[in-house]
Amino acid sequence: MKLFELGERTAQVHNVLVTVAELADRDDVRAVLLESADDPALLRPYLNRLDLVVLRFPIFRDGRGFTQARELREYLRFSGEIRAEGHILPDQAAFLRRCGVDSVVLPKNGNGDPGLWEKQLRQFPMAYQRSVLPERGIGPGLRVEEAP
Amino acid sequence: MSVPVGHYQYDRIDRDFLQARIAEFEGQVKRRLDGTLSEDEFKPLRLMNGLYLQLHAYMLRVAIPYGILDSRQLRKLGQIARRYDRDYGHFTTRQNIQFNWIRLEDTPDILRELAEVDMHAIQTSGNCIRNVTADEYAGAAADELVDPRVHAEILRQWSTLHPEFTFLPRKFKIAISGSPNDRVAARFHDIGILARPGEDGAPVFRIFVGGGLGRTPVIGEELFDSVREEHLLATLEAILRVYNAHGRRDNIYKARIKILVQAIGVEAYREAVEAELGQMDLEQYRLTPEAVEAIRARFAVPLLEAPDDADAVLTQQRRDDPLFDRWVRSNTHVHRDPGHIIATISLKPAGGIPGDATSAQIERLADLADAYSFGEIRITHLQNVVLGHVRKDRLRDLWLGLSEVGLAEANIGLIGDIVACPGLDYCALANARSIPIAQKLGARFADTALQAEIGALRINISGCINACGHHHAGHIGLLGVDKRGEEFFQLTVGGRAENGAAIGTILGAALPEDETVDAIARVVDCYLGRRESGETFLDTLTRLGHEPFREAAYEAV
């Protein structure tokens, strides 16, 4: 498993990863796997002890993970690591990062080339809407760039 | 002309963004060609940049945000049609333009040419927020309460490469109007927005959700009556967040927001949206007055000056020339300035292909826009073209100029003003050819005096149940069906997309293609024979019910 960091946070390796249903019985576990149909609010009772939430993308076209990441950051104020795994494309790197995802499990095919992920993160110098990242406005309109 | 009238003026930052988007797309094409991207992975990525694979070739759909172009942009579209297509372009029901005969390898070059005039193909397809449409008379119509273009531009920017909403369950269409007379089919959109002035001077927004045509036509329901401007983006984010999380992804025919709204009911949807808003940091999503003003400042306003006798000159010219008078009757709309008028140019010549324009016509339209309407052109959702600010005393000169290139058809809103999808001539999904039947109907009712006599009557034609020709919303709708390899058309009556939106009622069994035109002619004759003074087709239909029209349609079958 090769990890790629989308931002500054160092990706942590966790040997035990459980489902949301299994969390209640496992006080020792610090990492959970969220399927795309799972409601992130289910994690509310466990957030204090979780270091890592892994969002599984069954297919890159299933965009529920983007909303899950934002809900984790914006509603649940989760400050641990969020990771995306499964069928994801480097073309989604900046979208994932801007929704609050810190790292990805690189796909095992041509889409797993870290150079492509690196390039995509630098593709657009600005955006037309705010995200969960620290950003500052470019002038008084909607455009923003990442705060240094 | 430094700042264009009618649309947002790009600056270096916006232009750099477009160049970055082209570079990204070029990289995606390269990865497809070297095999690192599979076709299944490439397809959604190319669609998000407007590139379809049709029956015979690639089609590129170019965005015309809120339907407004300047003459420089229109000329560029004409050049692209000439250089990369077969010398024509096709204006769509979502105010865009399509080029139907594109080579994949030319696409990055075309995108670069478009970027030279601040145009692109971003989000004209794909399961994302599509190009935002707006009232074709925005900023010009006398009946307008709020000019919707500034907010349409805000929505365009906000939705562009939105990090959360680029992989939605299905496509997502937003329309916005600021007039009490709905000219955007607000209730047939995923989100329809009607703006009106609020008490503090800033607009408030009435929001409909879950409307749409397609296989399952649904009239959108009101979600909120009065959303304040500062909460517009937060509210849209919340609506989309609920849809992205809960919209169906197991069946593409059940994946639009309308299905979700129908499944849980609009009250439950509203509660879900309110629950999101309750958790969101509204300050983070706030649309500030400063942001609105900054975007408004990028729009140039036309200086509307006309001689005092402009109206009198037009009145006299109409008296002197009955042909001109007929065109003015059907093809103009009242402007907010008494010395000006709004002119709609029909792209529906009798026997022609609805929405098509040749490179020569496109370039001529650009010249006429420069001469008569501040270089501004609007594309309508009914596939016509509008010059928004024409001085009344110069309207006849415009009409004469249009006549020279075959663009003076007097049929706006009349039976010849047909909306049709591309159909089986281009589209891989179609069951029937929409264009030939549109041409035959156009030829049958070619006489403009007859069209004026018939009055307001819209025909919409779709080549399959995906309903791109909006047949459900046609006063008379035609749906192409395939019966053992033969083209048949099912007729509906009573649909409408304007105020009082309604879905048409099916008249009966589908008719063979060669009997359809006659059947429609009999339906029209039935109306002409039984209408009472002042009644439109829809009025008579409402009074009599559809039975007499059904009998007329099937009389000879």
How is B68-97 classified by DSSP, letter by letter? EEEHHHHHHHHHHHHHHSSSEEEE-TTS-E
Q: Can you tell me the mean pLDDT for B85-96? A: 92
**From start to end of B272-402, where are the E strands?**
332-334, 340-345, 356-358, 376-379, 385-391
> Is there a single domain that holds both residue B234 and residue B367?
no
> Distance between CA atoms of B552 and A68, rounded to whole angstroms?
56
> Is there a single domain that holds both residue B145 and residue B285?
yes
Q: Can you tell me the mean pLDDT for A57-79? A: 98
State residue B557's pLDDT score. 56
Q: Are B385 and B91 in contact (CB under 8 A)?
A: yes
> Is there a single domain that holds both residue B314 and residue B292?
no
> Distance between CA atoms of B512 and B463, rounded to whole angstroms?
14
DSSP string, B485-546: TEEEEEEEE--BSSSS-BPPEE-SS-EEHHHHHHHHHHHHHHHHHHPPTT--HHHHHHHH-S
> Distance between CA atoms of B66 and B379, rounded to whole angstroms?
8
Residue A5 Cα, gap to closest chain B Cα (Å): 18
What's the token pair of residue B56? 């015979």
> Is there a single domain that holds both residue B161 and residue B268?
yes
> Is there a single domain that holds both residue B183 and residue B146?
yes
**B414 lies in some domain:** no
Q: Can you tell me the mean pLDDT for B170-192? A: 96
> Is there a single domain that holds both residue B433 and residue B383?
no
Q: Can you tell me the mean pLDDT for B92-108? A: 91
Q: How many domains would you assign to chain A?
A: 1
Which candidate, B303, B373, B353, B308, places its Cα nearest to that of B71?
Answer: B373
Taking the Cβ of residue A15 and every Cβ of chain B, the question of whether any pair is shorter than 8 Å is answered with: no
The domain of A123 spans: 3-146
Q: Are B203 and B151 in contact (CB under 8 A)?
A: yes
State residue B417's pLDDT score. 96
The tens digit of pLDDT for each residue in B325-376 reads: 999 999 999 999 999 999 999 999 988 889 999 999 999 999 999 999 999 9
What's the token pair of residue B240? 């989309």
Which residues in chain A touch residue B295, judged by CB atoms under 8 angstroms apart?
Answer: 141-142
Q: Can you tell me the mean pLDDT for B87-100? A: 93
**B535 lies in some domain:** yes
**B38 lies in some domain:** yes
Q: Can you tell me the mean pLDDT for B487-501? A: 95
**B354 lies in some domain:** yes
Taking the Cβ of residue A121 and every Cβ of chain B, the question of whether any pair is shorter than 8 Å is answered with: no
The whole model's pTM is what?
0.96
Q: How many domains would you assign to chain B?
A: 4
**B58 lies in some domain:** yes
> Is there a single domain that holds both residue B276 and residue B186?
yes
> Distance between CA atoms of B551 and B39, rounded to whole angstroms?
50
Taking the Cβ of residue A74 and every Cβ of chain B, the question of whether any pair is shorter than 8 Å is answered with: yes
> Is there a single domain that holds both residue B399 and residue B455?
no
With bands split at pLDDT 50, 70 and 90, how would you rate the model's confidence at B524? very high
Say yes or no to pLDDT of B245 above 80.
Answer: yes
Helix (H, G, I), strand (E, B), or coil: what is residue B420?
Answer: strand
The tens digit of pLDDT for each residue in A69-95 reads: 999 999 999 999 999 999 999 999 999
> Is there a single domain that holds both residue B78 and residue B214?
no
> Is there a single domain that holds both residue B344 and residue B396?
yes
Please say which residue of B296, B322, B356 terminates a domain: B296
Here the CATH number for the domain that contains residue A102 is 3.40.50
ipTM of the complex: 0.98
**Mutate which: B18, B26, B41, vs A, most A CBs within 10 A:** B41
With bands split at pLDDT 50, 70 and 90, how would you rate the model's confidence at A15? confident
Angle between helices B513-530 and B434-444 (to 10 degrees): 40
> Is there a single domain that holds both residue B498 and residue B424?
yes
> Distance between CA atoms of B484 and B432, rounded to whole angstroms?
12
Say yes or no to pLDDT of B1 above 50.
Answer: no
pLDDT-above-70 percentage for chain B: 99
What's the token pair of residue B16? 């750099």
Bridge partner residues of B174 (DSSP): B191
State residue B238's pLDDT score. 98
Contact B41 A89 (CB under 8 A): yes
Which residues in chain A touch residue B163, judged by CB atoms under 8 angstroms apart?
Answer: 66, 94-96, 98-99, 127, 129, 131
With bands split at pLDDT 50, 70 and 90, how would you rate the model's confidence at B201? confident
Contact B164 A95 (CB under 8 A): yes
> Distance between CA atoms of B422 and B432, rounded to whole angstroms?
10
pLDDT averaged over every residue in chain B: 95
Q: What is the dihedral of CA B419, B424, B430, B432, to 10 degrees?
A: 80
The domain of B111 spans: 12-116
**B410 lies in some domain:** no
**B292 lies in some domain:** yes
> Buried b / exposed e across B404-419, counting CB within 10 Å, b at 16+?
ebebbbbbbbbbbbbb
State residue B278's pLDDT score. 98
Helix (H, G, I), strand (E, B), or coil: what is residue B336?
Answer: coil
Q: Are B150 and B132 in contact (CB under 8 A)?
A: no
Here the CATH number for the domain that contains residue B226 is 3.30.413.10
State residue B2's pLDDT score. 57
Which residues in chain A touch residue B291, judged by CB atoms under 8 angstroms apart?
Answer: 140-142
**Mutate which: B162, B167, B257, B299, vs A, most A CBs within 10 A:** B167
> Is there a single domain that holds both residue B154 and residue B284?
yes
